[in-house]
């Protein structure tokens, strides 16, 4: 057997997966135990795949305590297609949807929603470079809005909501792509939750949508079939061929999460990991965190340094030291350490040690 060398992968997405999951995928890739065929080959109508899909859903329900009045859908097209599907299905004629503009992904969601119907931007922190999420008192909500859309974790800017906004009886829709299942989530305070899998839940190719059943009534029959939530719900996410491999791998990640003590268990680890990096950022002033302290993301830690040259050198030398993917998003620059659920704590320790060394030789 050849020795496999894995480096520390700080990429924002697709991102690191739990090693035991990758090992099981590798072990069972040629033939699923007891099946004699690969997950890449079996029919999505087979009882084997049906039980893989059912187990993934059951584990998601267990992890988040999802009530039976919500449906769990496995869709394609990424979170980006949800930017369109949400308004196409939920923004009924004559109504207005409220959007909270807390970052670059929220901005993209707004752009798509405006193509479908009437949108009110309830608050924005764009003129503060999205360095914080809008506060409750800043929200200008529409009475009887079709829904309120938020982004729970702003992947690019490194901010997150610590508490959900209060929206009364208006359905709350949340894009949770970059912090899904990194901490407990109060599903019942949401009407719809969507998450592209490739940050915290599995490989790219599947998007999980959790939708309260009563909202399915809004989906018009005249809509394109593949974009209609009600169709996917009626067909148990098997209207057409689902991304079987991505669903299978996501299912293994959910089992891994349950074994970590579920959402409360992983949240404890995530808090500890993020606290280590933020403590180093705050230690001397050589590094400067870009997010307001009260909304710092536990998943995407963003910071700057004295000059862009210094940041370039940091990225080059960290890559050489086996710390990959630390370059900030091209839209904002700087450094971004994405430390999702599956990112090992040893990697966080290695980053902190590297930061200390780098400051010593460049400070």
Q: How far is the CB of 176 from ligand PLP (least distance, A)?
A: 8
Interface segment toward ligand PLP; rule CB under 6 A; list 3-11, 35-43, 112-120, 170-178: 170-178
Interface segment toward ligand PLP; rule CB under 6 A; list 2-10, 172-180, 223-231, 269-277: 172-180
**Beta strands 300-304; 118-124: pairing state:** unpaired
Long-range contacts of 220-229 (CB under 8 A, 24+ apart): 223/88, 223/89, 227/81, 227/84, 227/85, 227/88, 227/89, 228/89, 229/73, 229/85, 229/89
Give 102 or 287: the residue with its C-beta nearer to ligand PLP.
102
CA-CA distance, 106 to 145, in Å (whole number)? 18
Q: What angle do CA 194, 51, 343 make, to 5 degrees?
A: 50
- 199 has catalytic annotation: yes
Looking at 98, 199, 273, 327, which residue is catalytic? 199
Q: How far is the CB of 317 from ligand PLP (least distance, A)?
A: 27
Q: What is the largest CA-CA distance in the chain?
A: 64
Give 125 or 151: the residue with its C-beta nearer to ligand PLP.
151
3-state class (DSSP) for residue 270: helix
* Interaction of residue 80 with ligand PLP, rule CB under 6 A: yes
Q: What is the DSSP string of 308-355?
A: HHHHHHHHHHHHHTTEE--BPPTTT-SEEEE--TTS-HHHHHHHHHHH
User: How many amino acids of this chain bind ligand PLP (CB under 6 A)?
Assistant: 12
Looking at 101, 175, 256, 327, which residue is catalytic? 175
* Interaction of residue 101 with ligand PLP, rule CB under 6 A: no
* Interaction of residue 155 with ligand PLP, rule CB under 6 A: yes
Buried b / exposed e across 286-297, counting CB within 10 Å, b at 16+? Answer: bbebbbeeebbb
> Which run of H or of E encompasses 210?
strand 207-212
Residues 191-210 that bind ligand PLP (CB under 6 A): 196, 199
* Interaction of residue 89 with ligand PLP, rule CB under 6 A: no
> Of 101, 175, 280, 311, which one interacts with ligand PLP (CB under 6 A)?
175
Q: How far is the CB of 108 from ligand PLP (least distance, A)?
A: 7
Active site residues: 105, 175, 199
Which residues contact ligand PLP (rule: CB under 6 A)?
13, 78-80, 105, 151, 155, 175, 177-178, 196, 199
């Amino acid at each position: 057997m050849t020795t496999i060398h894995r480096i520390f992968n700080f990429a924002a997405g697709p991102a690191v997966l739990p090693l035991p999951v990758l090992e099981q995928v590798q072990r069972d890739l040629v033939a699923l135990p007891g099946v004699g065929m690969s997950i890449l080959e079996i029919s999505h109508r087979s009882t084997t795949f049906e039980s893989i899909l059912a187990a993934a859903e059951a584990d998601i329900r267990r992890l988040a305590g999802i009530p039976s009045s919500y449906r769990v859908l496995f869709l394609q097209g990424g979170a980006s297609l949800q930017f369109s599907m949400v308004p196409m299905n939920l923004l009924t004629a004559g109504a207005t949807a409220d959007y909270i503009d807390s970052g670059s992904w929220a901005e993209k969601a707004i752009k798509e929603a405006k193509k479908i119907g009437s949108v009110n931007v309830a608050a924005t922190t764009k003129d503060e470079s999205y360095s914080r999420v809008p506060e409750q008192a800043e929200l200008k909500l529409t009475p009887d809005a079709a829904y309120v859309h938020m982004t729970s974790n702003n992947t690019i800017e490194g901010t997150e909501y610590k508490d959900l906004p209060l929206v009364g009886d208006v359905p709350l829709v949340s894009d949770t792509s970059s912090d899904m299942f990194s901490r407990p989530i109060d599903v019942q305070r949401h009407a719809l939750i969507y998450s592209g899998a490739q940050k915290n839940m599995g490989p790219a190719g599947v998007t999980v949508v959790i939708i309260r059943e009563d909202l399915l009534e809004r989906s018009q029959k005249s809509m394109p079939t593949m974009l209609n939530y009600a169709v996917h719900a009626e067909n148990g996410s098997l209207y057409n061929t689902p991304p079987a491999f991505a669903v299978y791998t996501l299912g293994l990640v959910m089992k891994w999460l349950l074994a970590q003590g579920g959402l409360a268990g992983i949240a404890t680890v995530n808090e500890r990991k993020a606290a280590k990096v933020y403590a180093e950022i705050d230690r001397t002033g050589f590094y400067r965190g870009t997010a307001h302290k009260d909304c710092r993301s536990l998943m995407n830690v963003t910071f700057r340094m004295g000059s862009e040259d210094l940041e370039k050198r940091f990225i080059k030398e960290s890559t050489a030291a086996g710390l990959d993917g630390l370059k900030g998003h091209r839209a904002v620059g700087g450094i971004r350490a994405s430390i999702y659920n599956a990112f090992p704590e040893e990697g966080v320790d290695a980053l902190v040690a590297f930061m200390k060394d780098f400051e010593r030789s460049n400070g």
